[in-house]
Amino acid sequence: MQKQIILKNRPSGTPTHENFGVVQAPIGKPAKGEVLIRTLYISVDPYLRGRMNDTKSYIPPFKLNEVIKSGVVGQVTESQSDLFQKGDFVLGSLGWQEYSIAGEKSVRKIDPNLAPVSAYLSVLGMTGLTAYFGLLDIGKPKEGETVVVSGAAGAVGSIVGQIAKIKGARVVGIAGSDEKVKFLTDELGFDAAINYNSEDIGSSLQDACPDGIDVYFENVGGVIADSVFPLLNNFARIPVCGAISSYNNAEADIGPRVQTYLIKTSSLMQGFTVGNYTPRFSEGIKALAEWLTTGKLKYEETITEGFDNTIDAFLDLFKGANLGKALVKVAEIE
Amino acid sequence: MQKQIILKNRPSGTPTHENFGVVQAPIGKPAKGEVLIRTLYISVDPYLRGRMNDTKSYIPPFKLNEVIKSGVVGQVTESQSDLFQKGDFVLGSLGWQEYSIAGEKSVRKIDPNLAPVSAYLSVLGMTGLTAYFGLLDIGKPKEGETVVVSGAAGAVGSIVGQIAKIKGARVVGIAGSDEKVKFLTDELGFDAAINYNSEDIGSSLQDACPDGIDVYFENVGGVIADSVFPLLNNFARIPVCGAISSYNNAEADIGPRVQTYLIKTSSLMQGFTVGNYTPRFSEGIKALAEWLTTGKLKYEETITEGFDNTIDAFLDLFKGANLGKALVKVAEIE
């Protein structure tokens, strides 16, 4: 038997333990063409909050009483597929459970020699690719331009800022604690960082961006985003990746309308999800891996130990507790 | 002597006659390389409201006590330039006055045989080009897609909808009176039109767009725009041309934030101004003129007679009084 986490009922506002259930289920046996996978790492991500609502989006909502799914790295413990051997490391969209049975086409092998396997859920995974394509394909930062990133110490934001630095931009991060601000400037080489919890975001942003803002990578929304719009330069670009400040709003998310700001500066806002770039993933992984191995790109992971703490790790995302990618370590590599 | 209209003080909220002054000034004589132009038509446009504020935008604010400028069509009455003869029709950005002196490089000749000269301020002028580039370069409507236009009976909107029809889209217009709705469906061939003053915009829009919205051409902003966002299809495009509902707001323009809508649908919002497309104007004029001469494109003008009514014609824009392009006819062609 193994443990699984299901969505018991849909959160209204901020999710709590009450919304989830932990159930026991048989581990099962793989059929022909399937593998049995022992979960090593589970990715907890803000976007999963959206899937807990019963509303139309780019990805269908979770069903009640079904196991929650996200990115998982695991190790094959039994293979009924010619494509995998026992001991192989794999990546897939799998359940929040200790073991998964997966079809051979639904997971892919990852190389533990290129990077620690957890990196395939962070810098070499969806969050790294989200940063890569959102910034470069939509944000298009040019040398000397000013790039502002919100959620800057998070999984996506921390990679965005570093790629923008690689491209020669001046990078300003917005984050929620002095520890994060220090991390951004001292560890990741951001030119400036702002603690929105202790500073007046409007005036700090103006001070940090004396030449205005050319690219704003949006992870947060809300009043932080509101303070960016008046500082946009002509032809500014805003990749809209996330709006974590509003994910738990039970009420409508209200603020200044953006139309006049966009008109006055001929600026662009483009919502996106990393899935739009699936045909180009190998390009992104190649670039990220190269920056990683040449030391141009650092990544941070906040790892919560133990399957039983998975729900807490998810809930912590909305408290801004994580530095870099939030992961749950379920088991040791064998 | 002639009459001129100056900006006496900056409007707070909706402009009134108090904000303008009518003064007498000498007509003057053109120097070498200049022409004297008798004003025939003055273009009154919503964007001019923005220039009456003392804020940074894509175009500098009007100065106090200076003559207001906009698009003007006139006739040369005296030429000190080899490029122009008496009687030539010209287009330029000129003052709200009965006569202008202009350098030969600052105005261009227009052909009265291709279209009535007023058309160079409407369908063949800035508003036609705004519709053309905003819709085709940003909106990119495809055959069978649903295009929604706000301010649909206005100068830009009425052209946008017709170009979208030419491109094979299903076109839904939003306007402010039953007369305008009738004009859009009966005269311009829109597939549907909504009177936002008498209908519930949210449910009417949903009824009129059973397959969702692929392109929203934004002229209005405010609650009309708010009702569009929940109906966006994946990869929708929103050319942001104007936001007339907010131009006279003394208070902040507050509404639902758009980030989550953009993320869920990977939609794009792009502010623009026709000046961005200056290098491609001849392409736009050629296409518009061809559609005009082949009867594919109709245009409407609301012409106010007499220079003394210029201010009223401008103020009427914010009452939604105009059908198509609002112009002031100052003098007859000689």
What's the angle, vertex CA A313, arms to CA A310 and CA A315, rounded to 5? Answer: 110
d(CA B315, CA A93) in angstroms, rounded, equals 58
Q: Which tokens sit at B311?
A: 């201010």
B54 — contact with chain A (CB < 8 Å)? Answer: no
**Nearest residue, CB atoms, B256 vs list A56, A252, A271:** A252
CB-CB contact of B2 with B330 (8 Å): no
Q: Quick check: B245 pLDDT over 90?
A: no
d(CA A24, CA A131) in angstroms, rounded, equals 37
Q: What does the pLDDT look like over A32-49, one tens digit per residue?
A: 999 999 999 999 999 999
In sequence order, the 6+-apart residues with CB closer than 8 A to the CB of A283 are none
CB-CB contact of A192 with A213 (8 Å): no
Q: Quick check: A308 pLDDT over 90?
A: yes
pLDDT of residue B246: 85
- In chain A, what residues touch B261 (CB-CB under 8 Å)? 271
pLDDT of residue A26: 96
Domain A126-275 has CATH 3.30.70.100: no
Q: Which tokens sit at A125?
A: 């995974």
Instruction: For chain B, give the mean pLDDT.
Output: 95
A72 bridge partner residues? A42, A92
pLDDT of residue B308: 97
DSSP state of B187: I
Distance from CA of B148 to the nearest CA of A (A): 16
Average pLDDT of A109-136? 95
Q: Quick check: A321 pLDDT over 90?
A: no
Q: Which tokens sit at A57?
A: 């989006």
CA-CA distances (angstroms) from residue B70 to A232, B6, B158? 26, 12, 21
Contact B266 A256 (CB under 8 A): no
A221 — contact with chain B (CB < 8 Å)? Answer: yes
In sequence order, the 6+-apart residues with CB closer than 8 A to the CB of A91 are A71, A72, A73, A107, A108, A110, A120, A121, A125
Contact A273 B258 (CB under 8 A): no
Contact A266 B257 (CB under 8 A): no
Query: Scanning every residue of chain A, which has its alpha carbon at the shortest distance from the alpha carbon of B248?
Result: A260
- In chain A, what residues touch B252 (CB-CB under 8 Å)? 256
Q: What does the pLDDT look like over A1-33, one tens digit per residue?
A: 999 999 999 999 899 999 999 999 999 999 999
- In this structure, the number of other CB atoms found within 10 A of the CB of residue B291 comes to 19
Query: Scanning every residue of chain B, which has its alpha carbon at the shortest distance from the alpha carbon of A264?
Result: B57
B24 — contact with chain A (CB < 8 Å)? Answer: no
Average pLDDT of B55-80? 93
A240 — contact with chain B (CB < 8 Å)? Answer: yes
d(CA B322, CA A278) in angstroms, rounded, equals 48
pLDDT of residue B250: 73
CB-CB contact of B253 with A256 (8 Å): yes
**Nearest residue, CB atoms, B242 vs list A242, A256, A263:** A263
Alpha-carbon Rg for chain B, nearest whole angstrom, is 20
Q: Which tokens sit at B182?
A: 């009738």
Q: Quick check: A59 pLDDT over 90?
A: no
Distance from CA of B165 to the nearest CA of A (A): 25
A314: Cα separation from own chain's centroid:
12
pLDDT band at A195 (very low <50, low <70, confident <90, very high): very high
Query: Scanning every residue of chain A, which has its alpha carbon at the shortest distance from the alpha carbon of B264?
Result: A57
- In chain B, what residues touch A231 (CB-CB under 8 Å)? none
- The residue with greater pLDDT, B320 or B241, is B241
Query: Scanning every residue of chain A, which has its alpha carbon at the shortest distance from the alpha carbon of B218?
Result: A259
Distance from CA of A124 to the nearest CA of B (A): 22
Q: What does the pLDDT look like over A138-182, one tens digit per residue?
A: 999 999 999 999 999 999 999 999 999 999 999 999 999 999 999
pLDDT of residue B41: 98
Q: Is A33 left (phi over 0), alpha (psi -120 to 50) or beta?
A: left
pTM of the model: 0.92
**Nearest residue, CB atoms, B271 vs list A58, A241, A265:** A265
pLDDT of residue A229: 97
Q: Quick check: B56 pLDDT over 90?
A: no
pLDDT band at B123 (very low <50, low <70, confident <90, very high): very high
pLDDT of residue A123: 96
Distance from CA of A21 to the nearest CA of B (A): 27
Q: Quick check: A58 pLDDT over 80?
A: no
pLDDT of residue A245: 86
Alpha helices in B69-221 (DSSP H): 126-133, 155-166, 178-182, 201-208
Percent pLDDT > 70 in chain A is 100
d(CA A225, CA A234) in angstroms, rounded, equals 17
Query: Scanning every residue of chain B, which has its alpha carbon at the shortest distance from the alpha carbon of A226?
Result: B257
Distance from CA of A232 to the nearest CA of B (A): 11
Q: Which tokens sit at B236?
A: 């929708």
Domain covering A2-122+300-329: architecture:
Alpha-Beta Complex (3.90)
Q: Quick check: B252 pLDDT over 80?
A: no
A327 bridge partner residues? A43, A303
- In chain B, what residues touch A56 (CB-CB under 8 Å)? 264
d(CA B1, CA B330) in angstroms, rounded, equals 15
Average pLDDT of A301-314? 96
Q: Which tokens sit at A94?
A: 């799998």
**Nearest residue, CB atoms, B263 vs list A225, A242, A266:** A242
Q: Quick check: B244 pLDDT over 90?
A: no
Q: How many CB pairs under 8 A join A and B?
A: 123
Domain ranges of chain B: 2-122+300-329, 126-275
Q: What does the pLDDT look like over A223-259, one tens digit per residue?
A: 999 999 999 999 999 999 999 888 877 777 999 999 9
In sequence order, what DSSP letters do the residues of B210-238 get, joined into one string?
TT-EEEEEBSS-HHHHHHHGGGEEEEEEE
d(CA A96, CA A44) in angstroms, rounded, equals 10
**Nearest residue, CB atoms, A58 vs list B242, B264, B271:** B264
Q: What does the pLDDT look like over B198-235, one tens digit per residue?
A: 999 999 999 999 999 999 999 999 999 999 999 999 99
In sequence order, the 6+-apart residues with CB closer than 8 A to the CB of A331 are A38, A39, A40, A98
- In chain A, what residues touch B206 (CB-CB under 8 Å)? none
Q: What does the pLDDT look like over B144-203, one tens digit per residue?
A: 999 999 999 999 999 999 999 999 999 999 999 999 999 999 999 999 999 999 999 999
Q: Quick check: B58 pLDDT over 90?
A: no
- Flag whether the ipTM exceeds 0.95: no
pLDDT of residue A251: 75
pLDDT band at A334 (very low <50, low <70, confident <90, very high): confident
**Nearest residue, CB atoms, A269 vs list B255, B260, B262:** B262
